[in-house]
Amino acid sequence: MKSQEPGAPRLAALAALMADETRAACLLALLDGRAWTAGELARHAGVAASTASEHLGKLVAGGLLAEERQGRHRYVRLADARVAQLVEELAVFAAPGGGERPRTLRAVSARDAMARGRTCYDHLAGRLGIALTDALVRGGQLGTETGFALTRQGVDLFGALGIDLARGGRRPAARACLDWTERRPHLAGAAGAALCSRAFDAGWVVRIGSERAVKVTPDGERAFGDALGIEAEALR
């Protein structure tokens, strides 16, 4: 007998799309917010290019990924911020104890770098994301009474930093995103995305390695210190 719940088939289909280790690895890699080629994702997931292409085709057809073509190259990225939020929250739920222990020095270094600072789709996460969020709350720029909300001071601060919040479209200006390493919410939404974009454009943060890890530059330490009163040590 089929379920009488109309949403059940769609939920089951979505769960089936993600219930594969290769597809899950691709979705997690794409949380860096960038577009990847099928070949890059194949190497990341440790599968053949033809296998990766088959899996990516299913994710595109299921609406989780968007496809772009430039010449002979095919790129895929997460379809939108909602997909990124879903993947990140499932990753938190799937690793309630902090995840499997890394077995090599390289894996330990990569884990530690991701915990210090990383991108979570289009905003900053890890201890860096938490430090920025906490500073905004302390300074009265971010309210937390009924979820995250930018205050008037917050809007003024973002303007002073050269961040245009008008480009956020229909997305909420501020949203709490549960950090899977810190187990606390960091700033997401249009404001989180705009702050992350500004940080990269201004050279306040740079990517390190091939994962989502980022680090704060000396210019970033000065900028975040001046604007938010964050000690440099908290950003390292």
Q: What interhelical angle do 152-160 and 189-201 show, nearest 10? A: 20
Q: What is the pLDDT along the chain (236 residues), one digit of tens a residue?
A: 566 677 888 999 999 999 999 999 999 999 888 899 999 999 999 999 999 999 999 999 999 999 988 888 889 999 988 898 899 888 878 765 555 565 666 666 777 888 899 998 899 999 999 999 999 999 999 999 989 999 999 999 999 999 888 765 677 889 999 888 888 999 999 999 999 999 999 999 999 976 789 999 999 999 999 999 999 988 98
Q: Are residues 125 and 230 in the same domain?
A: yes
Distance of alpha carbon 215 from alpha carbon 86, whole angstroms: 25
227 and 129 part of one domain: yes
Give the model's pLDDT for residue 51.
Answer: 95
Token look-up 């789709």 returns 121
Residue 231 lies in a domain: yes
Q: How many CB atoms lie within 10 A of CB 207?
A: 15
Domain membership flag for residue 93: no
Tell me the residue range of the domain where 48 lies: 8-79
202 occurs within a structural domain: yes
DSSP SS3 for 219: helix
Residues 125 and 196 in one domain: yes
Does 215 lie in the same domain as 129?
yes
Q: Which residues contact 231 (CB under 8 A, 6 or more apart)?
A: 225
> What single-letter DSSP state applies at residue 20?
S
Residues 131 and 59 grouped into a single domain? no
Domain count, the chain: 2
Instruction: Mark whether 127 and 223 lie in a shared domain.
Output: yes
Position 164 in a domain? yes
181 and 113, same structural domain? Answer: yes
34 and 126 both lie in a single domain: no
SS3 118: strand
CATH number for the domain that contains residue 18: 1.10.10.10
